[in-house]
Amino acid sequence: MTNTTTRNDYPRPQFVRGNWLNLNGSWEFRFDDEDAGMRGGWHTGIRFERTIQVPFCYQSELSGIGEKEFHDLVWYRKTFQLPDDYKGKRLLLHFGAVDYAAWVWVNGHLVAAHEGGHTPFTADITTAASDGANEIVVKVRDYSKDVTLPRGKQYWKEQSEMVFYTRTTGIWQTVWLEAVSDSYLERVMMTPDIDRNEIGIRVFTEGWKPGLKLRMLIKFQGERVSEDLFELGGEEEARAIRLHDFNDHGLGRWWTPEKPNLYDVTFHLLDGGVVLDEVESYFGMRKISIEDGKVCLNNRPYYMKLVLDQGYFPGGLLTAGSDDELRRDVELMKMMGFNGARKHQKIEDPRYLYWCDKLGLLVWGEMANAYQFSETYVRRITQEWQEAVKRDYNHPCIVVWLPINESWGVPNMLIDKRQQEHTLAMYYLTKSLDGTRLVLSNDGWEHTKSDLATIHDYEWRREVLKSRYETAQSAVDSIAQNRWIYVPGYSYNGEPLHVSEFGGISFRKGGAPGWGYSAAADEADFLRRILDVVQPLLESKAVQGYCYTQLTDVEQEINGLLTFDRKPKLPLEVIRAINEGKTPSLEAEGASKAGQHQAMEAAR
């Protein structure tokens, strides 16, 4: 476990300002089980008796508290001194993620209220802040037992069991402050078009006024590619920039997991000759599409070999202890021969997506789901999902959007028209926000309209899998996991077939006992069982990709390829060979030690 108890890296790598104030670290903290805070005026300068290390939730060890009991109402307090160069400027207070509902006061003034446990929000605190000492107070309300809440793998009971894990309450991503001018860049949207060799850029300006100009400088590996200066005609402006690059025969600059080429972009917002705002960003030129029934990356058929990643970390639960831990997970996946990850039931920290962009790993972006259907659930998930797509639109690593998994939140999909219509609504809503990526209505089974035919299948017998995936039609007719792949009224229409969950083989490697979908007795048995489930899919002419369950053990679930502290259960090169379609053998201790040494080097 890392000893790092603060997160110092800039939290929004797709939209970087050089001057920022990190507000992570020690905050005052208090439980409010009696809901006495508002009546007691806790938002008006009252000291709290406990401390917590932000951005770690109180349930985690790295928070300094580590209590697992339900406390659905908690308060935070922090004081800070406004830097001299921030005075007289517009002040933006950012929260990466707070689970679930948050209210924020600065010097006793309510500056923000936000609902949604995985998505960011910003408060303009200019009129509330003072030039000297300032106080931030945050009230958070969680709903630990509410199963209509978009919560992902966070369990509604105090003790974890089955596939459900410890909850996260409160601040769990970075809090930071920025000073900007009255006019500043609010966000940008960058849409690659490899067919025209253009990058489309939409710029959104807060505090727009006539005469503002924007300079965009695009570089590739330090070499100037394009520079454009134009006047902004309003709060939103768009440009298509032709890149004039040669991009074929393996010589070009397109983004792939094998060659994660990135262009750097610098934005300068200008008023006359004065720079009002400067933002650094990047983009990747890549395209995900379906051509002639095949999944294609950059107009070429591409077999996606994914691993399921729950996004839980030693000591921090949903929050990695350091940026190095996020990078290490990406590196370990690539070392095992995976070219992508399905980030399961979690909208991950943007710095994880940055490392996927930079190192080259495809990502299926997935919403944290609820478990029961209601009108309140529909409002909550629709709002938060839109915020998630907006936040992560620019990341080239994301190729699939997955708003609903395994009928979570819509448990009566098979017979309830309302729930079927909800999955259709989520599919088309996502398409309306982002027409460049593939979208699923419901991953695993009970599809309505989806761009891929995805199946979850924890069958462990080689001969059954070989027969089941002989053709696409035999696969969708198979009722894997005793679930219909399509609900009545909808059917398979030639969509690419992807086995988006399989494996789940438990293998205890030290520690407490746990469970998986099938169990291995030792390393040799573990290897045999992995071969038995992977090889039939690779040999199938119908299957176009898979997602193995899972990357690491998590709490009581021990079906990871790695232990929870990221030690390999088999040598990494053995897993890579399996993904490459080979049949590797174990050489007892030597191979195992070599694999562990390799993992340690990756961690460093």
pLDDT digits (tens, 9 = 90+) for 360-381: 999 999 999 999 999 999 999 9
Tell me phi and psi for residue 432, to 5 degrees.
Answer: -70, -30
pLDDT band at 398 (very low <50, low <70, confident <90, very high): very high
Examine the fold and report which residue of 125, 145, 173 is the final residue of a domain before the chain moves on: 173
Asked if 437 and 550 sit in the same domain, the reply is: yes
Residue 349 has pLDDT above 90, yes or no: yes
For residues 383-403, give the mean pLDDT: 98
Asked if 165 and 194 sit in the same domain, the reply is: no
Here the tokens at position 419 are 């729930």
391 located within any domain? yes
Q: Three-state SS across 306-353?
A: EEEECCCECCCECCCCCHHHHHHHHHHHHHCCCCEEEECCCCCCHHHH
pLDDT digits (tens, 9 = 90+) for 547-601: 999 999 999 999 999 999 999 999 999 999 999 999 998 874 444 455 555 554 5
Closest-CA residue to 531 (of 485, 570, 488): 570
> What is residue 274's predicted lDDT score, i.e. its pLDDT?
96
Percent of the chain with pLDDT strictly greater than 90: 89
For residues 195-203, give the mean pLDDT: 96
- At 499, which CATH number? 3.20.20.80
> What is residue 291's predicted lDDT score, i.e. its pLDDT?
95
Residue 248 has pLDDT above 80, yes or no: no
pLDDT digits (tens, 9 = 90+) for 405-445: 999 999 999 999 999 999 999 999 999 999 999 999 999 99
Asked if 314 and 449 sit in the same domain, the reply is: yes
1 located within any domain? no
Asked if 485 and 597 sit in the same domain, the reply is: yes
Residue 470 has pLDDT above 60, yes or no: yes
Here the tokens at position 221 are 């590996």
Cα separation of 117 and 539, whole Å?
41
Asked if 322 and 469 sit in the same domain, the reply is: yes
Examine the fold and report which residue of 224, 257, 283 is the final residue of a domain before the chain moves on: 283
18 located within any domain? no
Cα separation of 390 and 187, whole Å?
10
> What is residue 158's predicted lDDT score, i.e. its pLDDT?
87
242 located within any domain? yes
12 located within any domain? no
Contacts of 84 (CB under 8 A, 6+ apart): none
267 located within any domain? yes
- At 237, which CATH number? 2.60.40.10
pLDDT digits (tens, 9 = 90+) for 147-191: 999 999 999 998 888 888 999 999 999 999 999 999 999 999 999
Asked if 231 and 373 sit in the same domain, the reply is: no
Q: Amino acid identity, residue 555?
A: E
pLDDT digits (tens, 9 = 90+) for 251-298: 689 999 999 999 999 999 999 989 999 999 999 999 999 999 999 999
218 located within any domain? yes
> What is residue 6's predicted lDDT score, i.e. its pLDDT?
63
What is the DSSP code (8-state) at residue 391? H
Examine the fold and report which residue of 221, 250, 283 is the final residue of a domain before the chain moves on: 283
Asked if 241 and 273 sit in the same domain, the reply is: yes
Helices and strands (H and E) in the chain: how many: 9, 32
Q: Is residue 18 within 8 Å of 12, Cβ to Cβ?
A: no
pLDDT band at 512 (very low <50, low <70, confident <90, very high): low
Three-state DSSP class for residue 468: helix
Percent of the chain with pLDDT strictly greater than 70: 95
Q: Report the domain count for the chain.
A: 3
Asked if 256 and 384 sit in the same domain, the reply is: no
Asked if 423 and 309 sit in the same domain, the reply is: yes
Here the tokens at position 358 are 């930079």
> What is residue 251's predicted lDDT score, i.e. its pLDDT?
66
pLDDT digits (tens, 9 = 90+) for 299-343: 999 999 999 999 999 999 999 999 999 999 999 999 999 999 999
- At 117, which CATH number? 2.60.120.260
Residue with token string 């930079």: 358
pLDDT digits (tens, 9 = 90+) for 524-552: 999 999 999 999 999 999 999 999 999 99
Residue 3 has pLDDT above 70, yes or no: no
- Alpha helices per DSSP H over 10-163: none
> What is residue 250's predicted lDDT score, i.e. its pLDDT?
64
Here the tokens at position 401 are 């959007």
For residues 225-242, give the mean pLDDT: 95
For residues 213-242, give the mean pLDDT: 95
> What is residue 480's predicted lDDT score, i.e. its pLDDT?
86
Asked if 326 and 212 sit in the same domain, the reply is: no
β pairing state of 121-124 and 90-95:
antiparallel
> What is residue 590's predicted lDDT score, i.e. its pLDDT?
47
pLDDT band at 138 (very low <50, low <70, confident <90, very high): very high
Asked if 395 and 508 sit in the same domain, the reply is: yes
Q: Amino acid identity, residue 443?
A: D
Asked if 160 and 219 sit in the same domain, the reply is: no
What is the domain range of residue 192?
Answer: 184-283
